[in-house]
């Protein structure tokens, strides 16, 4: 398990990888289904990375702190977040209280900052101060029907995607492309699946408008990706498709050929 974590991590950029970190990594199992869950706000429950912190990072930090970035640390990776934990706490909590001289993170008035609640900031603070355990991710319950998939996907969309694409799916002009009535989304389901699995960098044209931004690769399991895409396809005036976990698994095994290159045109485009 330790070698698996190392292979999925970015190169270590600082010293101090202590035996305590090694013990945490070797004794704690990383569940493959990293499903977001509600932040732990009760005083008798210590927040853990996989259950509480990684979902917050996906929703409010991943546009910058992701595996594609060359300039900042990838907080979607536990080892990296653990090593940077005290600076995370200072920037997210202390700076917001005027107790640290550096700029608060996420940047004030950004979509990510507006999506980050005071409870989320407190959860991050408690996680750092209580040893920053990795924990285990909640296991996603397999949806039995399309309707169940849509309900589960809506929760994921609200916690991860809405900060950039907005709860209405309208996105932000020239910054984040719309998902509502998206010709790019509806043209190719496999391309959409790969987009969530592998992320995307570079220019894309959606509904006749060009966008040039970063879509991170999210550490989500096949069930979660199927759920959130099914919700999007059945919301915002889209085509009503259903995405199933086996389709996500098949695309995960493929090379991300469509991530930075356009797919052939379809009737939707």
pLDDT band at 33 (very low <50, low <70, confident <90, very high): very low
CB count in 10 Å sphere of residue 239: 13
DSSP 8-state code for residue 217: P
The number of folded domains in the chain is 2
99-155 tens-digit pLDDT: 999 999 998 888 788 888 999 999 999 999 999 999 998 887 899 999 999 999 999
User: What range does the domain containing 119 cover?
Assistant: 29-129
Q: Are residues 50 and 117 both part of a single domain? A: yes
- The CATH number of residue 184's host domain is 1.10.760.10
In a domain, 52, yes or no: yes
Q: Are residues 227 and 197 both part of a single domain? A: yes
Q: Within 13 A of 198's CA, how many CA atoms are on the CB side? A: 21
Q: Are residues 104 and 151 both part of a single domain? A: no
pLDDT of 27 higher than 90: no
In a domain, 236, yes or no: yes
221 upstream amide cis, omega within 30 of 0: no
Q: What percent of the chain has pLDDT over 90?
A: 53
Which residues, in sequence order, are CB contacts of 107 under 8 Å at separation 6+?
A: 113
Rounded CA separation 51/86 (Å): 19
Which residues, in sequence order, are CB contacts of 22 under 8 Å at separation 6+?
A: 2
Q: Are residues 121 and 62 both part of a single domain? A: yes
Q: Are residues 93 and 163 both part of a single domain? A: no
In a domain, 40, yes or no: yes
Q: Are residues 33 and 99 both part of a single domain? A: yes
At which of 104, 129, 154 does a domain end?
Answer: 129
Q: Are residues 54 and 79 both part of a single domain? A: yes
Which residues, in sequence order, are CB contacts of 66 under 8 Å at separation 6+?
A: 74, 76, 199, 214, 216, 217
52-78 tens-digit pLDDT: 999 999 988 888 887 877 778 899 899
DSSP 8-state code for residue 96: G
- Is this structure's pTM higher than 0.75? no
At which of 95, 129, 163 does a domain end?
Answer: 129
Distances (CA, A) of 119 to 30, 86, 137, 188: 25, 18, 20, 38
Query: Contact 225/217 with Cβ under 8 angstroms?
Result: no
Rounded CA separation 204/201 (Å): 9
């Amino acid at each position: 398990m330790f070698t698996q974590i190392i292979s999925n991590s970015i190169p270590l950029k600082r010293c101090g990888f202590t035996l305590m970190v090694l013990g945490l990594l070797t004794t704690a199992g990383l569940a493959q289904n990293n499903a977001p869950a509600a932040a732990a706000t009760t005083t008798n429950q210590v927040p853990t990375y996989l259950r509480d912190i990684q979902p917050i990072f996906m929703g409010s930090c991943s546009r910058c702190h992701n595996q594609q970035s060359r300039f900042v640390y990838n907080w979607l990776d536990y080892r990296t977040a653990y090593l940077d934990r005290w600076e995370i706490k200072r920037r997210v909590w202390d700076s917001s209280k005027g107790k640290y001289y550096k700029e608060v993170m996420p940047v004030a008035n950004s979509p990510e900052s507006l999506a980050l609640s005071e409870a989320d900031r407190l959860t991050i603070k408690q996680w750092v101060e209580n040893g920053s355990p990795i924990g285990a991710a909640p296991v996603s319950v397999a949806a039995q029907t399309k309707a169940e998939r849509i309900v589960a996907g809506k929760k994921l969309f609200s916690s991860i995607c809405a900060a950039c694409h907005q709860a209405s799916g309208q996105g932000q002009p020239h910054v984040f492309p719309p998902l509502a009535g998206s010709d790019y989304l509806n043209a190719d389901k496999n391309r959409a699946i790969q987009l969530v699995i592998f992320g995307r960098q570079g220019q894309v044209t959606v509904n006749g408008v060009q966008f040039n931004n970063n879509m991170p690769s999210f550490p989500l399991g096949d069930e979660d990706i199927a759920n959130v895409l099914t919700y999007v396809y059945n919301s915002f005036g889209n085509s009503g498709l259903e995405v199933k976990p086996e389709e996500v698994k098949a695309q995960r095994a493929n090379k991300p050929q469509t991530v930075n290159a356009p797919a052939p045109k379809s009737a939707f485009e």
